[in-house]
Structure 1
Amino acid sequence: MTETDLAATLERLGGAKVLCVGDLMLDRFVEGKVERISPEAPIPVLSVQRERPALGGAANVARNVSALGAHCTLVGAVGADSAAAELAAMLADLPGVTDGSVTAQDRPTAVKTRYIAGRAQLLRTDREKTGPFPPETAAALREAALAALPGAGALILSDYGKGVLSDALVADLIAAANQAGCPVIVDPKGRDFSRYRGADLVTPNRAELSLASGMPAEGDDAVLAACRHLAESCGLAGILATRSEEGMTLYRRAADGTDSAVHLGARAREVFDVAGAGDTVVAALAAGLAAGLDPRSAAALANRAAGIVVAKTGTAVAYPGEILNDSHEERLEAGESKVLTQAEAIDRVAAWRRSGKSVGFTNGCFDLLHPGHVSLIAQARAACDRLVVGLNSDASVGRLKGPDRPVQPESARAAVLAALGHVDLVVIFGEDTPLSLITALEPDVLIKGADYTKDKVVGADVVERLGGKVVLADLVDGHSTTRTIAKLNRG
């Protein structure tokens, strides 16, 4: 997905409507310092400096949906207590979130309290009651969820095993969503995934995948085998397996039994906290599907969003601006890896050829990149599978264009070229012509502008002698770096 496509996708999320049904929780963080051991027992004494609440469970999923700019109706259960009021107030502050929670008289609002010293968690306490709800509460949950389903572009079942998502409610919601053509995404719990039969995508992490399938989940082949087994045995249309630093695997199984899989790599980054990353995944996945993305594009969006939140501390969210910036940074990093020496380029080109790819070559000074350059590069890339751009060094440009050139140093010119999607490799050469570089790389296609004739194209004889071809690209009239610089000087 290009940055332009990604920006358009993120804008589309504003019209997406998601229904999230699951276990609601309130997280509390009690933070401070430990400077001594208690005289009463061999335990640390936490000197409390601050306390802060946060949305947890399905409420954190709604928070993530809201952060992406989409709309979310949230259905779950809370107690008749102050924690419920606190949770409701926090949800009311989230743009686009509708709180459809039901009050349960037989249990408190689930509260998880973490005691933290620096970055070390000392203790967690849970205040909750789990298990089946009384019939009247279960009926109220079912009524609220089914009433909110019409108009939803995706349904999330956020299962933390606390009791909201009973087998009966899960079956009813999946059946109703399937009938309405609404995709169902499940953040699962436990080892029995057959209770999610009919779901479109289930999102286990590596440990959950191994537990539910009874199979190993290390490496692409093992993960794929586990996904295939679960989908076939549990009646699931797809699985998005999250694999930490190894990214994600999207497995899909069609009604006729045919299947497909794609592995989505994770961008290398320092991981600070994985808490809540699963909530981010299902939120972004559902928001993407609700906005009309295909499953692979929605999974790619979820993969990028999850990568952002694990680089933060605590249960965090990913905002559209952060996702777009992350894509831009990744492209810049990828661009840097495209600029190679001639020796490195020879190895890269050989690898492409081994995989059956045709290699094209074009060259130039590319001092001030203009539409004529962009058109040439686009036409060059259309003539081959992989495009290498030879770039004149600063010394070479100075000899060819005069002592006042180049305007941009070779490092800047190389970085700009490498950032273009049509460019696969940039090699800086110091000679006045790229003949030695062309001879070393032996491209299948040599591309120059139509202001040249074939007999004037440097290296044409080398390429044709090896069975390659020369392509003369159409020019865009009215664009010239030399004329542009002359205009600037006159100004």
Structure 2
Amino acid sequence: MTGRAPLVVVGDVLLDRDIRGSASRLAPDAPAPVVDVTDDLARPGGAGLAAVLAARSGREVVLVTALGEDRASHRVREALDGRVRLVELPLDGSLPVKTRVLADGRPLVRIDRGGGEVGAPGAAAARALADAHAVLVADYGRGTAQALRPLLTDRARRVPLVWDPHPRGGPPAAGARLVTPNAAEASALCPDEGDSPHPLDSLAAHARRGAELAERWGAAAVAVTLGERGVLLTRPLSAAPMLVPSPYRAVGDPCGAGDCFAAVAACALADGSLPEEAVQLAVAAAAAFVGSGGACDPALWRPSFAAGPARPTGGDAFATAADVRARGGTVVATGGCFDLLHAGHVGLLDSARRIGDCLIVCVNSDASLRRLKGPGRPLNPLEDRVRVLAALGSVDAVVAFEEDTPETLLGRLRPDVWVKGGDYSADDLPEAGVLRAWGGQAVVLPYLDGRSTTGIADRAARTASNARPGP
């Protein structure tokens, strides 16, 4: 474990199955498309997906959910083994299975089957919640959250609690730090009465619903997710809303994006972030999740994900690189201290991302940076530097290294292109020789003149000194 605050995820697990293929003809006996199947993937959905996404941060994740003795429940147990710790409630019946049939990436039909009655929680569930440092409730309206409601209400008064609601479920526990309905769920939970002066899909209408729901639920904040438009963070009726736009337009399957948003927000709150900070991180993570293939991304379900990253990261760098290579793409990496992120850094990262199909940032640890820059550095600890970098739309993953140079890390990562900014030539880079071992290429990109962390720090120090009153 990385020392990050553990998280308890409570909610309903489903088995999600995607049958994918192509459709170029109609059936002879009915006007229905014939799908030639190319892929059939089954994976945990609902609270199971949220727990797996939370575990990518490297923290311990405990999933409290209802499972039975049916085949779907056993498949979920196998898929979650080694990724999260399971605490089970009894399920009388079968686990819900949600099957989507997609042709050329577009859903044709969804088939739902199964379902059961959630039994009473035992001592293990009560103990898991009593020990929780933070809680995420992924409520799909199938009974798990309701069975644990008294315990959840108690924890909401003591630790950060994020509640991802569903119109079929009950209201969030009073005192929740953040509630995360999407626009359709907020509309269903807070329907318009016909006299609103605003269009139903306007920001003003969403802000009104979010504020009313926050007031009704006794929640500190409600984040209404708006798809490509981002997220509207609202508070009870007296406060103005904050719009957090998506960093870029993510093209891909949005299935599971809400689970990703809620999981990342819960992890950020567990680590001490304010709701505003948590929402910004979660919006960027959800966009990256959709762009990488969403819940169907093969890298998400590889066994290597079970171990989690060795250092705090924005995304798993090694899994990201492996997935891009498997698709025949180009892995681009760059590195540095990034102690104060400035315009020069942002321009370099944007340019580097356009070279290939992913950008992985290798960042010096605190000890490495101190050896390189001297006493008084870093100005920002590793955890903060990683979080800021990971929030950029150009960055797919961040990984830290302890050595003075990233050469050992590059040997494990094996990028196709290594990017540096500056005045020297690519052949002069100390990493150039390492890259040649696997056919990688070092390149130098122009750097924005006059921007440097040291220069900014020096100017700030001079300004502070000049502002001090005389004796």
Q: Normalised by the size of structure 1, how large is the TM-score?
A: 0.60
The number of aligned residues is 342
Q: Report deviation, 1:185.
A: 0.7
Q: Report deviation, 1:145.
A: 3.0
Amino acid at match of 2:282: A
Cα offsets for 1:307-330 (capped at 9, x unmatched):
111212241569834489899999
- Counterpart contact for 2:348–2:445, Cα < 8 Å: no
Cα offsets for 1:113-162 (capped at 9, x unmatched):
222222122222112226xx3xxx5313x644322113322111111122
- Counterpart contact for 2:342–2:451, Cα < 8 Å: no
Query: Which residue in the other structure is 1:231 paired with?
Result: 214
The answer as to 2:153 corresponding to 1:175 is yes
Gaps of at least 5 residues in structure 2 are 193-198, 318-332, 351-371, 374-421, 426-443
Q: Distance in 2 between matches of 1:323 and 1:202?
A: 27
Query: Which residue in the other structure is 1:389 paired with?
Result: none
Cα offsets for 1:150-207 (capped at 9, x unmatched):
33221111111222222x633x13322034x112111011188745433221101122
CA separation of 1:293/1:418 partners in 2, compared to 1, >3 Å: closer, same or farther?
same
Amino acid at match of 1:174: L
- Counterpart contact for 2:186–2:224, Cα < 8 Å: yes
The answer as to 2:183 corresponding to 1:197 is no
Gaps of at least 5 residues in structure 1 are 1-10, 339-369, 372-405, 424-446, 451-468, 474-491
Matches within 5 A, 1:185-334: 185-190=162-167, 194=171, 196-215=173-192, 218-253=201-236, 259=239, 261-315=241-295, 320-322=313-315
Query: Which residue in the other structure is 1:98 paired with?
Result: 85
Amino acid at match of 2:148: L
CA separation of 1:222/1:416 partners in 2, compared to 1, >3 Å: closer, same or farther?
farther
CA separation of 1:35/1:246 partners in 2, compared to 1, >3 Å: closer, same or farther?
closer
Q: Distance in 1 between matches of 2:334 and 2:203?
A: 25
Matches within 5 A, 1:262-411: 262-315=242-295, 320-322=313-315, 335=347
Q: Report deviation, 1:75.
A: 1.2
- Counterpart contact for 2:143–2:169, Cα < 8 Å: no
CA separation of 1:192/1:279 partners in 2, compared to 1, >3 Å: closer, same or farther?
closer
- Counterpart contact for 1:17–1:151, Cα < 8 Å: no
CA separation of 1:258/1:151 partners in 2, compared to 1, >3 Å: closer, same or farther?
farther
- Secondary structure at 1:103's aligned position in 2? strand
- Counterpart contact for 1:153–1:289, Cα < 8 Å: no
Q: Report deviation, 1:306.
A: 0.9
Amino acid at match of 1:139: A
Larger helix share, 1 or 2: 1
Q: Distance in 1 between matches of 2:349 and 2:100?
A: 42
Query: Which residue in the other structure is 1:124 paired with?
Result: 110
Q: Distance in 1 between matches of 2:222 and 2:455?
A: 33
Q: Report deviation, 1:101.
A: 2.2
- Counterpart contact for 1:335–1:419, Cα < 8 Å: no
- Secondary structure at 1:297's aligned position in 2? helix
- Counterpart contact for 1:192–1:212, Cα < 8 Å: no
Q: Distance in 2 between matches of 1:190 and 1:209?
A: 8
16-25 or 188-197, larger mean C-alpha shift: 188-197
- Counterpart contact for 1:152–1:290, Cα < 8 Å: no
The answer as to 2:56 corresponding to 1:67 is yes
Query: Which residue in the other structure is 2:448 paired with?
Result: 415
CA separation of 1:128/1:193 partners in 2, compared to 1, >3 Å: closer, same or farther?
closer
Query: Which residue in the other structure is 2:34 paired with?
Result: 45
Amino acid at match of 1:209: A
Q: Alignment identity in percent?
A: 30
CA separation of 1:47/1:337 partners in 2, compared to 1, >3 Å: closer, same or farther?
closer
Q: Report deviation, 1:59.
A: 0.2
- Secondary structure at 1:101's aligned position in 2? strand
Q: Distance in 1 between matches of 2:33 and 2:445?
A: 55
- Counterpart contact for 2:162–2:177, Cα < 8 Å: yes
Query: Which residue in the other structure is 1:138 paired with?
Result: 119
CA separation of 1:121/1:150 partners in 2, compared to 1, >3 Å: closer, same or farther?
same
Q: Report deviation, 1:334.
A: 5.2
Runs of 4 or more, structure 1, over 6 Å off, are 323-333, 419-423
- Counterpart contact for 1:288–1:298, Cα < 8 Å: yes
Q: Distance in 1 between matches of 2:44 and 2:100?
A: 13
Q: Report deviation, 1:108.
A: 0.8
Cα offsets for 1:44-68 (capped at 9, x unmatched):
2222233221110100011101112
Amino acid at match of 2:54: V
Computing the radius of gyration from Cα coordinates, the structure with the larger value is 1
Query: Which residue in the other structure is 1:110 paired with?
Result: 96
Q: Report deviation, 1:73.
A: 0.8
Q: Distance in 1 between matches of 2:24 and 2:30?
A: 15
Query: Which residue in the other structure is 1:432 paired with?
Result: none
CA separation of 1:163/1:326 partners in 2, compared to 1, >3 Å: closer, same or farther?
farther
CA separation of 1:38/1:212 partners in 2, compared to 1, >3 Å: closer, same or farther?
same
Q: Distance in 1 between matches of 2:276 and 2:232?
A: 10
- Secondary structure at 1:245's aligned position in 2? helix
Q: Distance in 2 between matches of 1:189 and 1:161?
A: 6
Q: Distance in 1 between matches of 2:279 and 2:6?
A: 17
CA separation of 1:337/1:89 partners in 2, compared to 1, >3 Å: closer, same or farther?
closer
- Secondary structure at 2:140's aligned position in 1? coil
- Counterpart contact for 1:30–1:116, Cα < 8 Å: yes
- Counterpart contact for 2:48–2:63, Cα < 8 Å: yes
Amino acid at match of 2:98: K
Q: Distance in 2 between matches of 1:174 and 1:103?
A: 18
CA separation of 1:422/1:126 partners in 2, compared to 1, >3 Å: closer, same or farther?
farther
Amino acid at match of 1:102: L
- Counterpart contact for 1:206–1:217, Cα < 8 Å: no
- Counterpart contact for 1:209–1:217, Cα < 8 Å: no
Query: Which residue in the other structure is 2:127 paired with?
Result: 147
Aligned alpha-carbon RMSD (Å): 4.1
Q: Distance in 2 between matches of 1:225 and 1:197?
A: 19
Q: Distance in 2 between matches of 1:74 and 1:191?
A: 21
Q: Distance in 2 between matches of 1:120 and 1:330?
A: 40
